[in-house]
Amino acid sequence: MQEEMKNYLSLWISAVDQMLNLGTMIVFLYAACLMTFSDASNIVESNYGFSVVDANSLEFVFNNAPEAAKWLKDNSELSLKEKYRSDRSTWVALYPVPFLFSGSLKFPAQTEEIRKHHQHFPQLVVQKTSSNNWNRRVHLQLSLGSLSEVWTTSLNITGPLSNWSFADNTLPAPQTVSGGPPSYICRLTGQSNENWSFWLEANSSEPLRIDVAVLDQFLVDSTKELKSLFPSWADMTVFTTFFSTYYL
């Protein structure tokens, strides 16, 4: 799994180098939906996130995209204050690509349009739990809901994880994201109508935390409109992320 991640990141670095040599500035834009774990139909927060793979900053991008800046702030002046800054943990759906990013911002977005286009959102459900001394094994099923253009799904697991059913029951070296606790990150790929069944094992009663981030390539109209407001020399990579957290 570690070798796969290295190869995946190497491909991205190669593609980025080629585009930068052509004078293209690469800007990532996502429309994110944060959902409650108890109700997969409930969106508690949504926002637009931005990041760049370039020597130029996001401030440079928005200085050259005044219409996009006005659109984000409803025709008022855009201020790149500290409260709009985000860290790599918000980009876990793209792991390990965010290690290439140089700064990230996020701004509030509306949720109604997302609800209109998706009847069911991704959800993680406990199938059963078994215990043996201090070891707990939790059997889970991940449904991707009614999303139609899923590219990838990432699981970010922290806590007393001692084993899992992925990668021939072999845990990789833990990762640290944005100064957080050591975590194990797994990427899943497949058709959006598939359910993923797997188990996680913990060696203490301390809960496992599982962040689920599903990257969907379907864009609602407002996101398409925002994308169109950036200059042609900015290569926009745009997607929608559905993010939820579970404690087991």
Mean pLDDT of the residues in the chain? 81
What is the value of pTM for the model shown? 0.83
User: Quick one: 112 and 154 in the same domain?
Assistant: no
pLDDT the model gives residue 24: 47
Contacts of 199 (CB under 8 A, 6+ apart): 137, 138, 139, 140, 164, 165
Are residues 169 and 67 part of one domain?
A: no
- Same domain, residue pair 18 and 71: yes
pLDDT of residue 75: 54
Regarding whether 41 and 17 lie in a shared domain, the answer is yes
Structure confidence by residue, pLDDT tens digits, 82-130:
667 777 777 888 888 887 887 788 888 888 888 888 888 899 999 999 9
Residues 99 and 142 reside in one and the same domain: no
pLDDT at 91: 85
Q: Which of the four pLDDT bands, split at 50, 70 and 90, describes residue 15?
A: very low
Q: Is the pLDDT of residue 27 over 60?
A: yes
Verify that 104 and 223 share a domain, yes or no. yes
**pLDDT score, position 225:** 94
The tens digit of pLDDT for each residue in 28-43 reads 777 777 765 445 567 8
Tally of domains in the chain: 2
Query: 44 and 58 share a domain?
Result: yes
In the chain, the percentage of residues whose pLDDT exceeds 90 is 35
Q: Which pLDDT belongs to residue 165?
A: 96
Residues 61 and 139 in one domain: no
* Residue 208 near residue 138, CB atoms below 8 Å: yes
- Same domain, yes or no, for 61 and 95? yes
Residue 194: its pLDDT value, please?
A: 76
The two tokens of residue 177 are 């994201």
Distance of alpha carbon 210 from alpha carbon 124, whole angstroms: 9
Q: What is the CATH number of the domain that holds 141?
A: 2.60.40
Judgement on whether residues 225 and 173 belong to the same structural domain of the protein? no
- Regarding whether 125 and 85 lie in a shared domain, the answer is no
If asked whether residues 15 and 32 sit together in one domain, one would say: yes
| Domain encompassing residue 109 | 2-116+217-247
Cβ within 8 Å of residue 152, ≥6 positions away:
93, 187, 188, 189, 214, 215
Q: What is the pLDDT of residue 33?
A: 72
